[in-house]
Structures are given as C-alpha cells and as structure tokens.
Structure 1
C-alpha cells in the first residue's frame, strides 16, 4: 500500500568513502557481500576451537557466542535482501552487542562465568558491556545508539517508511523498505565491519583463554 501527496523535496544523501572502500557501490554489491559475511565467522571459529580438544567453560561460551554471531550475520543479510530496515538494524544492534560482549570478557576474564552460569539471572548488564566497548570501538556507542532508534519505536524508525519522491511528492508505504538507497548500503557496510571485528575478537578470545599470549590483536574499529 502506498500513499503520495505533494511536499517539498529532500536533499540527496552522499555515501561515505569508507563504505565504497569495502567494495559496496550499489545495492547488488551490498547484498552480495553481505551474503558471504558469515563465512569469516565460520573460519575464525574453526581456527579458534581447534586449538584444543579439551572442552572448558571458555570453549562453551565461545561456541555459543560464535553461533550467535554467525546466525545474526546470516539473518541480517536476509533482512537486507528483503529491504527490511526494521529487521536489519535491530539485528545489527544484537550483532554489535555480541561483539561488545566478546570485548568485555576478553578484557575482564573474571566475568566469563556470568555468561555461562547465570541463566535465571540478569547476567552482565548490556549497558555496562556497550559502554566498555568504547575501549575498542571509538564510534561504537554512537552507532549502537543509532541502531537502537530503529529497534525502538523512535521517530527515526517511525518515519522510515516515508519518502519525498520525484516531483516533491510525499510517499508512504506500509511495506518494508529503506528510507533511501544509501541507508541500505550503510547497513551492509556496518554488517561487514562488525563481521571483521568479530572475527578478530574470536581469534583474540582464543589466545586469551586457550593459549597465553602477551600480544593482543590490533584494536578493532567501527566506522561511522
């Protein structure tokens, strides 16, 4: 269902250079790259888990976290292909929380048990995890806040289905769609960035808990 009325035009959005640097130049390239994003998580996980065949709580936590990461990456890719911004950004928010949790337990290994043995409790508060992620993701909190505006009934998510189209006409649709083509490309870029960061954190988790190493992986970063 679509409704149109006359209204002033809106300014054209510009795609950031860091997005095109990822190979994202249009909708087709964005969706194609998003489809294969989860493969990096799979490869990183297989390398990390193969370090030892003796399972510990650390292994079990990492297995669960990497399964979450892979499933969230795949679901986000599907949401992108369906051009559903509500599902896409809400899933990206969960994907960010997953990566932020890896950062938290790597830096605070004493908190690992709360992820495993606190099924009936509140676990580690997500606000504490997200705030701590600033140590790795300089723009992470800002991006998380933006994603939250789609996950919640915020004005940004409410007006997402509304556009100013050719001729300065107001367009509203009851079906899912991104507010602009650039918004879809940015979402795909965030997916790729989060996947790269997560793959690196999986490797770092492996070194931190499975084999001692004085060196940490280069700090992951997220673009804005």
Structure 2
C-alpha cells in the first residue's frame, strides 16, 4: 500500500521559516513591497503563493520570473536553516514513520506544496531522514494541489509495474483532504497545522485526530483496508 504524507503541520512545524524565506527572496528580487500579508499559506503550492504575492504588488509577470525566485528562495532557505531554525517534529511522528518504514506492506511518499529541495531541507532539519520516502509529488509539479496525489500514485505504479492496492493520505489542511479524496485516497486529517478542527471535519476525511501520538491507533487505521500485499 501507499501512504502519502504532507510535511508542514503534519510531520513537522516549521514556525514560519519557509514564509520568511519566501519574503526575503521576493524582497531582494522584486522590492520591499513584496509580502505575504493576506495570502493563505497552509496546504498550498509554493509557486502559487509566489504568484499571488507578485500579483498583490501589481506584477503579472511572475511565471517568467519564477525560476529566478525559486533559485534565490532555496538559497535563502538553506541559509536560514544553517544560522538557526525552529523546525520541530510533531507528536508521534518519529515513531509512526519508523513503524511504517519497517512494515513490509507500506511504501511512504511525500505530497507537499514545497519544492523538492526545500521539502528535504525541512525534513532533515527536523531530524527526519528524507530517504524514508520514495517518489511522491512536490509543489512545482502541479498547477493545483489536486494534481499532486495522482502524480504520486502514478510514480508508484511506474516504479512497481502496478497500482497500489490501497492509498492513504495524511495531512493537516482542507486542501490535503480534498485533493486526497479526489484521487480516491482514504484521508486522515490531523489537527496540528493551520486549519481548525471544524474546517477539517467539514471537508469529510475518513478520520480526524488531534495529533499522531497514538501510533498504535494510527497504524491500525492505516492497515485496516490493505487488501493484501503492497
């Protein structure tokens, strides 16, 4: 089976480090008026966040400047992590990842709005080995969040020569829930991120938890519909 995992608010808390990196890179390249004020961040793709920030300052040419922004953002983000960061792994995550990695029926993959490089930097800074995850889909690989789970599933199929028998998605925002449901995933929403429990319940995931600290219960739910081999 395939377990798709969001990063921010699900596996770790970055305490705004990514947002600070976006603002610093954008301000350096496009002026001090570049800001994320009023722009929702949780569960969204980094290129879309950049595009909205550019439009907010009257710039409609964000697509042609995206590569330059991406390059500088990744440099700034690495610098922020090097000089000190607030990345912290969330309750239950370390044990849960270890249990899933050791389970012969489970393959883990990332589905995140982050760029691949910044995703791996965040994980490593929080003490999570990026090598635990195979394939997945990242923020610059789709136009909207709904594009990412199908891409991760297709990459599993291409690598294994068959589709996964079951796909589970763990996330902390409504965007995680709706994109997972659209792709036919069973979805577990966790209330450790930016979206309130009421919003998560209203988006109709199969399960909503306060956090992932009850590892036995989470594993039992993940494995409840495996249908056999991975």
Q: TM-score normalized by structure 1?
A: 0.27
When you count strand as a share of all residues, which structure comes out higher?
Answer: 2
When you count helix as a share of all residues, which structure comes out higher?
Answer: 1
- Highest RCO, 1 vs 2 (Cα 8 Å, sep ≥ 6): 1
Q: TM-score normalized by structure 2?
A: 0.26
